[in-house]
Amino acid sequence: MSFSPPVIIKLPIWRRRTLLIVVLLGFCVLLGRGIYLQGIHKEFLQKKGEARYSRELKLPANRGIITDRNGELLAISTPVESIWASPPDVVASPNQLNALAKLLQIEPAVVVKKLTKKNHEFVYVKRRIPPELAAQVMHLGIPGVFMQREYRRYYPAGEMAAHVVGFTGVDDKGQEGIELVFQNWLAGKAGERHVIKDRQGHIVEDLVAVNVPQDGKDVTLSMDRNIQYLAYRELALAVTQFKAKAGAAVMLDAKTGEVLAMVNLPTYNPNNPVNINVNGRSRNRTIVDTFEPGSTLKPITAAAALESGNFKPDTLIQTAPGYLRVGTATIHDTHPQGLITVAQVIQKSSNVGASKMALTLDRQFFWGVFNQLGLGTPTHIGFPGEASGRLRPYKIWRPIEQATMSFGHGISLTLLQLARAYTVFANDGELRPLSLLKLNEIPLGHQVFSAETAHQVKDMLEMVVLPGGTALKAQIMGYRVAGKTGTAHKLDVGGYQKNRYVSSFVGMAPASNPRLILAVMIDEPSSGEYYGGTVAAPVFSKVMEGALRMLAIPQDAPNDNVVIPAQGAPEGEPEEAPEVKDAPAGKSVKEVQEST
């Protein structure tokens, strides 16, 4: 037997050193990577690890309720459940997925798509479902599928208060109305709970103590739900009867400026706010829509004339022959009245009489009256989207513009502004701020007219609803009423529209000591009737009568005070608009209308 010695291979020294360096470098890289991951970048790894078992559960705050002035509910939150999933943790059989889709009434393909988003750690499957349905979903026992408590807003008053209360979106954030204005006040502050869950979704341990949610605060509106319903019902009947495009009404507490009712048609259901932008359903017309008020502005012209010292209620004004030339334009009365007093100008709704009073006034003084009443400026009631209207600077007024503004043309305002302006006749000439919230004390206002002027104009307004006036249908049994009708052609592209009207009535009761003010506007009545005394005044009468009796306001007249006109007899001198009829000096009616 022979023995072979082992073969020893010696590497060149440079190769040994190179191998050693490579090994050392590799070790250094691994060491550096370990230090980086365990020291510098450890938060990333910790978050990734915690994501497998750790969850932050949001504890939603209960949104504050909204009530009317008497504590009646207008908006309240009810508990619901939302189903969500962590796609990386979902383990479900086809049968379970089909059962889940069937319970939630979702297409199976949609459910599969949501639960297979592996790059998402949180996805909603379906939100705001009844708690009993959520319990059935959880009974399926699908790992990675969870339920979460949320709240859904419910509006007991429904359509009739939609434009005031508004509604919330799917995330319980205010989208319109009071819900939007008082979002931060109502919403509160959500809490949270940091827990460890197993793959079945069961809570194993609380890591952090519960951060208790802070519920939202309640809001008490100035609105009276019963009066709101009454106004909604009567306005809806009138819009239907006269085949109108839209309607609006607003009632104020004459002493405090609180809004007791604010109604708009068409409306929408805030419990299911779909297609709310169709036909302007979401618009609060009393606040965001402007219109030319027509003859409802004549009492303000009369008040300005009385304040100037040049007129008294019994001052005679010659309105014959029934028209007035102002430059190249001519202003007409529907029926010539002849020699009448200032009070009769309001009672008969004479455009010529109002124009003659206005043309004697200093432009800056006349503009100042409108401005002090808040015309051309927002009421600052705090509602989103409030319009300011349009009151042009007095420096650019021409005589025809000064004349037409005296009977409500060439100026635009909102129904809320108009109702507020009439508060001066109920409060000894003082204009008070408005409020959508219930007040505990009467706010301070500012004096616009003297108490004597306010009383004198109020007496004139009372004549409007008596025989010889334009609004017999505004009378109320057992109560004295004061108010004014308005009928105006609508202004559109190309001038005033021939057969499109805005009919309105603004009034107060009881006239002896006004407690309530109501303004009614009917947009584009198309049944053949369009005068304010025929279309809007009856709505005023029914709503005001109901509100006076609901609030137990004492009567100030006998029960036989209502005067019914004879069959076929005129109820008063109708108003016609546009009041600028022709232009004999070669200027077209359209040019005159556009100038106003």
Residues catalogued as catalytic: 295
**Polymer length of the chain:** 596
Estimate to the nearest angstrom the gap between the alpha carbon of 30 and the chain centroid.
66
Residue where the block lists tokens 């109502």: 186
Estimate to the nearest angstrom the gap between the alpha carbon of 84 and the chain centroid.
34
* Closest C-alpha to 193, from 180, 207, 183, 179: 207
**Residues 6+ positions from 547 with CB-CB distance below 8 Å:** 224, 227, 230, 251, 260, 261, 516, 518
Class of residue 215 by CB neighbours under 10 A (exposed 0-12, middle 13-18, buried 19+): middle
H helix or E strand, kind and range, residue 581: strand 580-582
C-alpha to C-alpha distance for 507 and 171, rounded to whole angstroms: 42
H helix or E strand, kind and range, residue 316: strand 316-318
C-alpha to C-alpha distance for 266 and 577, rounded to whole angstroms: 25
C-alpha to C-alpha distance for 441 and 60, rounded to whole angstroms: 35
DSSP 369-416: HHHHTTTTS------TT----B---GGG--HHHHHHHTTT-S-BB-HH
Residue ranges of alpha helices (H) inside 145-224 are 162-165, 177-181, 183-187
**By the 8 A CB rule, do 248 and 265 touch?**
yes
Structure-token pair, residue 164: 């005031």
- Identify the DSSP state of 39: I
C-alpha to C-alpha distance for 425 and 303, rounded to whole angstroms: 9
Q: Which residues pair with 220 in a beta bridge?
A: 67
SS3 259: strand
Q: Give the relative orientation of helices 351-359 and 298-308 as an angle to the nearest 10 degrees.
A: 40
**By the 8 A CB rule, do 429 and 454 touch?**
yes
**By the 8 A CB rule, do 152 and 128 touch?**
yes
> How many CB atoms are closer than 10 A to CB 191?
15
**By the 8 A CB rule, do 411 and 405 touch?**
yes
* Closest C-alpha to 167, from 280, 61, 278, 273: 273
